[in-house]
C-alpha cells in the first residue's frame, strides 16, 4: 500500500478546478441509463466510486463509453435493463449500492449487489425497509448488510418519512417510484442534498414539492440530455481548509458546485471568519455553479450541530482537522451518522488527531477538538482506515504541523479525488 509523505508548507495559492461532483455524476449516469437516447455527460467525476456506477450500468446492459471526463450513455429506457450475469460490484460506494437498489427493485429480474469490506459494514436496512414496503423482496446478510439480493417486482407507490436524514435513502425511494403506476412521496424532516430531484426534472420526470414532501409520478418517459457536472465542492473543501491552515494563502476554485443543499460549509467557514467570496454564479442543468475565492484568515472556530449537520456531512472531517488551527477549537454535535460512513469517522478523526498531538474529546455523536492554545500539531503516521476523506483531511492538517507526516494507504483518496496529492503539491509553497 502506497504511503504519502506530507512535508509542512509555508502557504498555498493559485487556482484550480476539482473533478466533477461525485453525487451528481452517479445520478446523471443512472438516469441516462433509464432514459431513451444517448446522453453526453461532461466533467464526469474521476472518482473510483463513479466508475463503480458506470461498471454496474454496463453489466445491466447499458452502453457506456467513457473517455477522460466525458461519458456517453445510451439509455435502455425505463423497461430495458437486462439481468446481469453475476453480482454487481459497488466497490466502496454507498451511493451506487443504495441508489441502484431502488432501480433494481423495479426490475423484472433478480440481481445481487455487493461491495468491498467497508461497504459490507454499512447499514442497508435503511433502503431495504422502504423498498420492501413498495413490493421488492430483498435478502441481505444478517443485520441488513450487503450483499443484497434483490428480487424486483411491480412496485406500488408509498408515502415514506425518512427516519434518518439521508439523500441516498430519499433517492432510492424516488428512483423506485419511477417504476410504479402512481405517485410516490418522500417526506424529509431534515433537508438533504437534492441532486436526485434536480436531475429527475432535467431528464423529464414529473416531480412536485409540497412543504417537506417530494412526490414523483411513476412511469415517465425520460429523455437523453447533454449535461455538464459541476466541480465537487466536497473535494474543493480540502483546499479551502488548507488556505485556513497556512498564512498568506489565497485560492480560487473554478466551476465548483454551489447547490444550496451542499454549500453550508461555506457559511460555516464564513461564520468562523473566513473571507469566502463567490464569483460568476450561474445555473447549469438546474445546479448552481460558480468560482469560490478565499484568503487566509485566523479563524475563531465554533460549534456545528443540529439540522446543519445533514448538509455538511461529507465536509465534517475537513472541518474537524481545522480545530487545532482555530482560536476556540471546533466542536461537532448530533453527527452520529459519521460513524457509519466509509470508516467510523468520529473514531478515525479522534485517533489520528491525537497522533498529531491534538487534544480531542470523542463523544458518541461527535467530538471536540481543542484550539490553538493546546499546542501546535506535530507530524505523525496517519491511518485513514481506507477512507478517502480521512486521507485528504490529514494531508491538509499536516501542512501546518511541525515535521513530516506519513499518510498510510494514501491511494484511497482516489475513491473521490485521484489527483488530490498532485494538485496539493502543485499549489503549496515551502
Closest distance between ligand S3P and the C-beta of residue 175, in Å?
A: 11
Position 25 contacts ligand S3P (CB under 6 A): no
Shortest distance in whole angstroms from residue 195 CB to ligand S3P: 7
Question: Which residue, 11 or 166, is less far from ligand S3P as judged by CB?
Answer: 166
Nearer to ligand S3P, 119 or 313 (CB): 313
Per rule CB under 6 A, is residue 92 in the interface with ligand S3P?
A: no
387 near ligand S3P (CB under 6 A): no
Smallest gap from residue 193 Cβ to ligand S3P (A)? 6
Identify the CA nearest to 61 among candidates 97, 91, 116, 104: 104
**Which of 222, 235, 286 has the alpha carbon at shortest distance from 73?**
222
Place of cell 445481487: 112
Which residue among 4, 16, 18, 23 contacts ligand S3P (CB under 6 A)?
23
| 105 is an interface residue for ligand S3P by CB under 6 A | no
Of 326 and 343, which has the nearer Cβ to ligand S3P? 343
Rank residues 118 and 171 by Cβ distance to ligand S3P and give the closer one: 171
Q: Using the rule CB under 6 A, give the single segment among 164-172, 182-190, 198-206, 211-219 that binds ligand S3P.
A: 164-172
> Is the CB of 39 or the CB of 95 nearer to ligand S3P?
95
Contacts with ligand S3P, 316-345, as mask; x by CB under 6 A:
------------------------------
Choice between 55 and 359, CB closer to ligand S3P: 55
Among 4, 92, 107, 168, binds ligand S3P (CB under 6 A): 168
**Catalytic residue numbers?**
314
Binding range to ligand S3P, per CB under 6 A, among 161-169, 278-286, 315-323, 363-371: 161-169
Number of residues that bind ligand S3P (CB under 6 A): 10
Answer for which of 39, 45, 95, 405 binds ligand S3P (CB under 6 A) is 95
CB of 246 to ligand S3P, least distance (A): 27
Q: How many Å apart are CA 391 and CA 397, to the nearest integer?
A: 10
Residue 47 contacts ligand S3P per CB under 6 A? no
Are 198 and 174 contacting, i.e. CB atoms less than 8 angstroms apart?
Answer: no
Looking at 314, 315, 383, 409, which residue binds ligand S3P (CB under 6 A)? 314
Count of alpha carbons within 13 Å of 250, Cβ hemisphere only?
A: 1
- For the bound state, the minimum distance from the C-beta of residue 238 to ligand S3P, rounded and expressed in Å, comes to 14
Strands 330-332 and 11-17: unpaired
**Residue 167, interface with ligand S3P (CB under 6 A)?**
yes
Stretch 191-220 residues interacting with ligand S3P (CB under 6 A): 193
313 near ligand S3P, rule: CB under 6 A: yes
Give the 3-state secondary structure of the chain. Answer: CCCEEECCCCEEEEEEECCECHHHHHHHHHHHHHCECEEEEECCCCCHHHHHHHHHHHHCCCEEEEECCEEEEECCCCCCCCCCCCCEECCCCHHHHHHHHHHHHCCCCEEEEECCCCHHHCCCHHHHHHHHHCCCEEEEECCCEEEEEEECCCECCCEEECCCCCHHHHHHHHHHHCCECCEEEEECCCCCCCHHHHHHHHCCCCEEEECCEEEEECCCCCECCEEECCECHHHHHHHHHHHHHCCCCEEEEEEEECCCCCCHHHHHHHHCCCCEEEEEEEEECCEEEEEEEEECCCCCCEEECHHHHHHCHHHHHHHHHCHHHCCCCEEECCCHHHHHCCCCHHHHHHHHHHHCCCCEEEECCEEEECCHHHCCCECCEECCCCCHHHHHHHHHHHHCCECCEEECCHHHHHHCCCCHHHHHHHHEEC
Q: Which range touches ligand S3P (CB under 6 A), out of 128-136, 149-157, 162-170, 364-372?
A: 162-170
The phi-psi region of residue 143 (left if phi > 0; otherwise alpha if psi is between -120 and 50; otherwise beta) is left
* Least distance from ligand S3P to the Cβ atom of residue 310, Å: 7
Asked if residue 166 binds ligand S3P (CB under 6 A), the reply is yes
* C-alpha distance across the termini of the chain, in Å: 27
Nearer to ligand S3P, 167 or 304 (CB): 167
Q: Which residue, 314 or 331, is less far from ligand S3P as judged by CB?
A: 314
**Closest separation in Å from C-beta 118 to ligand S3P:** 13
Site residues, ligand S3P (CB under 6 A): 23, 94-95, 166-168, 171, 193, 313-314
Amino acid at each position: 500500500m502506497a504511503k504519502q509523505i506530507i512535508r509542512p508548507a509555508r502557504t498555498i495559492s493559485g487556482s484550480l478546478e476539482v473533478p466533477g461532483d461525485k453525487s451528481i455524476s452517479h445520478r446523471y449516469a443512472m438516469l441516462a441509463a433509464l432514459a431513451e437516447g444517448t446522453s453526453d455527460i461532461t466533467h464526469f467525476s474521476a472518482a473510483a466510486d463513479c466508475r463503480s456506477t458506470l461498471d454496474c450500468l454496463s453489466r445491466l446492459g447499458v452502453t457506456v463509453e467513457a473517455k477522460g471526463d466525458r461519458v456517453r450513455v445510451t439509455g435502455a429506457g425505463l423497461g430495458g435493463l437486462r439481468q446481469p450475469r453475476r453480482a454487481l460490484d459497488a466497490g466502496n460506494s454507498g451511493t451506487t449500492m443504495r441508489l441502484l437498489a431502488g432501480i433494481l427493485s423495479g426490475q423484472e429480474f433478480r440481481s445481487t449487489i455487493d461491495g468491498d469490506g467497508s461497504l459490507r459494514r454499512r447499514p442497508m436496512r435503511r433502503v431495504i425497509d422502504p423498498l420492501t414496503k413498495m413490493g421488492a423482496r430483498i435478502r441481505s446478510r444478517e443485520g441488513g448488510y450487503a450483499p443484497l439480493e434483490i428480487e424486483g417486482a411491480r412496485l406500488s407507490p408509498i408515502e415514506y418519512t425518512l427516519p434518518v436524514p439521508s439523500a441516498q435513502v430519499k433517492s432510492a425511494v424516488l428512483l423506485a417510484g419511477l417504476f410504479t403506476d402512481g405517485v410516490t412521496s418522500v417526506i424529509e424532516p431534515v433537508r438533504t442534498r437534492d441532486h436526485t430531484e434536480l436531475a429527475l426534472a432535467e431528464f423529464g420526470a414529473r416531480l412536485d414539492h409540497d412543504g417537506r414532501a417530494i412526490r414523483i409520478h411513476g412511469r415517465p418517459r425520460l429523455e437523453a440530455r447533454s449535461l455538464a457536472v459541476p466541480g465537487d465542492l466536497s473535494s474543493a473543501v480540502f483546499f479551502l481548509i488548507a488556505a485556513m491552515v497556512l498564512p498568506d494563502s489565497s485560492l480560487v476554485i473554478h466551476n465548483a458546485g454551489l447547490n444550496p443543499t451542499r454549500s453550508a460549509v461555506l457559511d460555516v467557514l464564513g461564520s468562523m471568519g473566513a473571507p469566502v467570496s463567490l464569483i460568476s454564479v450561474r445555473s447549469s442543468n438546474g445546479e448552481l455553479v460558480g468560482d469560490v475565492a478565499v484568503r487566509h484568515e485566523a479563524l475563531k472556530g465554533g460549534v456545528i450541530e443540529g439540522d446543519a449537520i445533514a448538509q455538511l456531512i461529507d465536509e465534517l472531517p475537513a472541518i474537524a482537522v481545522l480545530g487545532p488551527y482555530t482560536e476556540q477549537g471546533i466542536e461537532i454535535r448530533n453527527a452520529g451518522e459519521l460513524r457509519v460512513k466509509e470508516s467510523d469517522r468520529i473514531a478515525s478523526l479522534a485517533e489520528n488527531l491525537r497522533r498529531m498531538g491534538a487534544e480531542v474529546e470523542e463523544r458518541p455523536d461527535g467530538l471536540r477538538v481543542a484550539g490553538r492554545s493546546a499546542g501546535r500539531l506535530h507530524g505523525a503516521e496517519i491511518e485513514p482506515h481506507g477512507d478517502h476523506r480521512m486521507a485528504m483531511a490529514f494531508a491538509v492538517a499536516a501542512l501546518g504541523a511541525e515535521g513530516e507526516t506519513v499518510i498510510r494507504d494514501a491511494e484511497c483518496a482516489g475513491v473521490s479525488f485521484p489527483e488530490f496529492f498532485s494538485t496539493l503539491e502543485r499549489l503549496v509553497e515551502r
